[in-house]
């Protein structure tokens, strides 16, 4: 249900400039951060601690040549920092589950694979035990341009794939009389789909865009990935760095727009 929600929400942003969707989610995250701090943080105490921090820093600058006073200032700085951290933990703990859930799903959206640019990617199947009876069937628009490579030490089998069209489909992996599928998408990024389909609970939580693999000999099916960097205005950063920057800027701007006193 959660994956279906994110797939629906992200659909209007698919194939568009990544910075657009990062900006939208960054503003939403900034609004949530602002509301969380306004509701659950003791802002008056935080302002006092911030002033104390600046006072101790100034004292360290002025009396740095006196070892005893310098050590006292450092102790007061550490104490004030710990108290400040304690006051910011409640709102951060409130939004942490929502932030973790959103980041995991957005990672499925922003992570790229070389198929999207016409390059080759590697599909790797990890088995629970060595086997040579695994076969791979690809859609007509996917070319398998290398024979399977077996890595016995890791119980892995890999194939190199190349897309001949910008389409979406399913790879079929057969073992004995059973089979499983793996979604693959070669359309213009960003796209919401799992680059890894896993049988373990932890793996399925980290890659929730596709359902968990059923019990069987296959532990995971993965596609090789490309860097998730986004370029905007001449700056290139990971999408999470963009999201954090935009959300913090949005939280500050919302506070100013509503005439709420800044934490200083």
The count of domains in the chain is 2
**Contact criterion met (CB below 8 Å) for 186 and 173:** no
From 68-77, 122-131, 187-196, the region with the lowest mean pLDDT: 68-77
Model confidence pLDDT, tens digit, residues 74-126:
777 787 778 878 888 888 899 999 999 999 999 999 999 999 888 899 999 99
Pair 105, 6 in one domain: yes
Pair 208, 250 in one domain: no
Model confidence pLDDT, tens digit, residues 170-185:
999 998 788 999 999 9
Whether 91 is covered by a domain: the verdict is: yes
Whether 10 is covered by a domain: the verdict is: yes
**Contact criterion met (CB below 8 Å) for 156 and 204:** no
Whether 263 is covered by a domain: the verdict is: no
Pair 99, 158 in one domain: no
pLDDT higher at 96 or 62: 96
Pair 130, 102 in one domain: no
What's the pTM?
A: 0.81
Pair 158, 214 in one domain: yes
Domain residue limits at 154: 114-223
Pair 244, 210 in one domain: no
Pair 130, 209 in one domain: yes
Whether 30 is covered by a domain: the verdict is: yes
């Amino acid at each position: 249900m959660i994956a279906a929600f994110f797939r629906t929400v992200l659909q209007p942003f698919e194939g568009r400039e990544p910075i657009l969707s990062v900006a939208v989610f960054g503003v939403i995250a900034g609004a949530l951060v602002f509301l969380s701090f306004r509701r659950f943080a003791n802002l008056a105490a935080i302002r006092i601690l911030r002033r104390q921090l600046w006072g101790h820093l100034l004292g360290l600058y002025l009396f740095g040549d006196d070892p005893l006073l310098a050590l006292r200032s450092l102790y007061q700085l550490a104490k004030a920092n710990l108290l400040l951290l304690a006051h910011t933990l409640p709102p951060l703990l409130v939004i942490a589950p929502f932030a973790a859930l959103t980041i995991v799903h957005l990672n499925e959206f922003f992570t790229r694979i070389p198929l999207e640019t016409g390059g080759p990617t590697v599909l790797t199947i990890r088995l629970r035990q060595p086997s040579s009876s695994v076969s791979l069937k690809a859609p007509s628009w996917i070319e398998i341009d290398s024979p399977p490579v077996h890595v016995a030490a890791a119980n892995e089998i890999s194939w190199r794939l190349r897309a001949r069209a910008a389409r979406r489909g399913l790879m079929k992996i057969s073992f004995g009389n059973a089979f499983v599928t793996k979604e693959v998408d070669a359309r213009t990024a960003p796209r919401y789909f799992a680059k890894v389909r896993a049988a373990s609970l932890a793996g399925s939580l980290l890659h929730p865009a596709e359902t968990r693999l059923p019990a069987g000999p296959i532990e995971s099916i993965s596609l090789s990935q490309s860097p998730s960097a986004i370029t905007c205005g001449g700056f290139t950063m990971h999408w999470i760095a963009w999201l954090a920057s935009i959300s913090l800027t949005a939280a500050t701007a919302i506070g100013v727009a509503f005439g709420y006193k800044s934490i200083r």
